[in-house]
Amino acid sequence: MRALTFSEYGPASVLEVADVVEPHAGPGRIRVAVRASGLTPADCRLRSGRFRDMVPLHLPHVLGMDAAGVVDEVGAGVTGVRPGDEVFGIVDVAELGGANAEYAVLAAWAPKPDALTWEQAGGAAGNVETATRALDRLKVGTGTSLLIEGAAGGVGTVAVQLAAARGATVVGTAGAHNHTFVAGLGATPTTYGPGLSERVAALAPGGVDAVLDCAGSGSLPDLVDLAGSPDRVVTIADMNAGEYGVHHTRSAGPGADPPAVEGLAVAAALAGQGRFTVPVAAAFTLENAAAAHRLSETGHARGKIVLIL
């Protein structure tokens, strides 16, 4: 099958579409014929070699953590899904990839809602799982006043909508050119960077109860000040979180939190009600994946970058 791979660590130009052996659905897994799959910044770091000491890969490696497609194999013990069903889901996080390909094995999934296009569904699952895990940890619910740092990116756009659907009031940071976009997702937008405390105080006069950092831009000391306590802050992206007593949530590796896969069905139901969507920054073919990686590496994609088959 065709798959997006790399055989040596390096810049986006090392990516190649190669013919690789098809995976099959083992126990508890399903296989899909992929229609679209997601690109996350972690894919770029795996490719560049930045993670090579932490997570050495067996090269060539097939990239991609999430996908949407049509089920064509159902593993032993799996119930409630049949060949021909349309689903979106995530790979086993321990595999560190496998979704940017003609066929992908999923470890968790939900029915694809009609309200999401293949592109939107293909880029949904990983960010929905991540946002749900972080919002759960912060106990975001009705009446929570939440600040999201980095609200215009892949995870941020999803987190804004899921938090608003829980009944939270959300302030989201983004570049000025993204403020109308972020407001459309359900957050009050403001700019990140110096003066954030004053801007947030003006927008949330009662203060914020919780902060989700989706940017990892080094603002944790300010975010802890705003929340009033480090245990009211969760980051998905700041590797120095421990220095500030902040929890860095991840779904794999030492100290991982359990994957919040129940979030997939929640997001699918919200999409069916017109209360959740996946803003797609851009879609690329596997053959143009190097351009997709370069866009991700700008750090300023608006929403999710998707690869289509």
Ligand X SMILES: NC(=O)c1ccc[n+]([C@@H]2O[C@H](COP(=O)([O-])OP(=O)(O)OC[C@H]3O[C@@H](n4cnc5c(N)ncnc54)[C@H](OP(=O)(O)O)[C@@H]3O)[C@@H](O)[C@H]2O)c1
- Provide the minimum distance between the beta carbon of 191 and ligand X in the complex, in angstroms, as a whole number: 9
- Provide the minimum distance between the beta carbon of 234 and ligand X in the complex, in angstroms, as a whole number: 10
- Provide the minimum distance between the beta carbon of 228 and ligand X in the complex, in angstroms, as a whole number: 20
Please give the Cα distance from 209 to 226 (Å, whole number).
Answer: 9
- Provide the minimum distance between the beta carbon of 181 and ligand X in the complex, in angstroms, as a whole number: 8
Please give the Cα distance from 108 to 43 (Å, whole number).
Answer: 19
Burial class (CB in 10 A: 0-12, 13-18, 19+), 203: middle
All residues at 6 or more sequence positions from 198 whose CB lies less than 8 Å from its CB, including other chains: none
Nearer to ligand X, 69 or 189 (CB): 189
Region at 107 (left for phi over 0; alpha for psi -120 to 50; beta for the rest): alpha
Burial class (CB in 10 A: 0-12, 13-18, 19+), 102: middle
- Provide the minimum distance between the beta carbon of 192 and ligand X in the complex, in angstroms, as a whole number: 4
Nearer to ligand X, 100 or 249 (CB): 249
Nearer to ligand X, 73 or 149 (CB): 149
Please give the Cα distance from 156 to 303 (Å, whole number).
Answer: 8
For 53-109, the three-class secondary structure string (H helix, E strand, C coil) is CCCCCCCCEECCCEEEEEEEEECCCCCCCCCCCEEEEECCHHHCCCCCECEEEECEE
Please give the Cα distance from 120 to 62 (Å, whole number).
Answer: 21
Q: Give the residues lining the site for ligand X (CB under 6 A).
A: 40-42, 130, 149-150, 152-156, 173-175, 178, 192, 214-217, 236-237, 249-251, 296, 299-302
Nearer to ligand X, 249 or 277 (CB): 249
Nearer to ligand X, 20 or 278 (CB): 278
- Provide the minimum distance between the beta carbon of 27 and ligand X in the complex, in angstroms, as a whole number: 25
Nearest alpha carbon to residue 103 among 14, 37, 38? 37
- Provide the minimum distance between the beta carbon of 171 and ligand X in the complex, in angstroms, as a whole number: 12
The values of phi and psi at residue 290, to 5°, are: -60, -40
Nearer to ligand X, 143 or 218 (CB): 218
Nearer to ligand X, 130 or 144 (CB): 130
Please give the Cα distance from 144 to 212 (Å, whole number).
Answer: 12
Burial class (CB in 10 A: 0-12, 13-18, 19+), 58: exposed
Closest-approach residue to ligand X (CB): 153
Nearer to ligand X, 120 or 130 (CB): 130
What is the C-alpha radius of gyration for the chain, rounded to an integer number of angstroms? 19
- Provide the minimum distance between the beta carbon of 177 and ligand X in the complex, in angstroms, as a whole number: 7
